[in-house]
Structure 1
Amino acid sequence: MNDISLIETGLVFLKVKSDREITIDNVTTLQVKNNGLVSVFINELELQPNEHFTLAVPDGTITKVVLDIQFSQTDNGINEEFKKFSWHKKELDIIYRKLITCKN
């Protein structure tokens, strides 16, 4: 009989700078933070610049997370001096832990 070990990984950091859909299996906790200068919509939840939100709380459950990420197309409220730094306009950090199953 094979033993199966469950190993929780350390933190995983993803940096997203364009619209996309991301699927992550076996998530134990997941948080998103908008580090850009424009709003971002995650599954229709709007995050303003410098806002963060926990989408999967660390309550002992394991879930599959599908993130539909859409950045705002407007530059309202952005100073002219910051417009030249395009890499900071759209920047979302995704921080999560996931469970990995290993056979011994």
Structure 2
Amino acid sequence: MMKDIIVVNTAVVFLKLKQDKEISFDNVTTLQVVNSGFVSVFVNDFEIASKEKITLVPPDGTTSKVELNIRFATDTDAAQEFSGFTWNKKEIDIIYKKFIKC
């Protein structure tokens, strides 16, 4: 008699967001948010300034379900200097690793 074989793979996912959004992820082993824009962003009430990063799920060997509430701050004086440009004004990168069962 043959038993079912479950293959577990991992995947690294890169996600770029440029607007407010609520999003959730399952089976996450690590998650980091990088603010690559000029405007501060609030992720689950944590403020991330421009060019800062935060690790929300450390790689400790467990899996988590993560729900993110992403809100960009209103334009500041520094951001208004770049208002003529469309690049890189409001932008965050979410990098996470998750388990995928096949």
TM-score, with structure 1 as normaliser: 0.90
Whether 1:3 aligns to 2:1 is no
Q: CA RMSD in A?
A: 1.2
Counterpart contact for 1:26–1:63, Cα < 8 Å: yes
Equivalent residue number for residue 83 of structure 1: 83
AA aligned opposite 1:5 = V
Instruction: After TM superposition, give the deviation of residue 79 of structure 1 in Å.
Output: 5.6
Equivalent residue number for residue 24 of structure 1: 25
Gaps of 5+ in 1: none
Aligned pairs for 1:46-65 (under 5 A) are: 46-65=47-66
Instruction: After TM superposition, give the deviation of residue 48 of structure 1 in Å.
Output: 0.2
CA distance, structure 2, for counterparts of residue 73 and residue 89 of structure 1: 11
Gaps of 5+ in 2: none
AA aligned opposite 1:90 = K
TM-score, with structure 2 as normaliser: 0.92
Instruction: After TM superposition, give the deviation of residue 75 of structure 1 in Å.
Output: 2.4
AA aligned opposite 2:64 = T
AA aligned opposite 1:91 = E
CA distance, structure 2, for counterparts of residue 94 and residue 78 of structure 1: 21
Instruction: After TM superposition, give the deviation of residue 77 of structure 1 in Å.
Output: 2.2
Identity %: 51
Equivalent residue number for residue 72 of structure 2: 71
My pick for the range that moved more, 71-80 or 89-98, is: 71-80
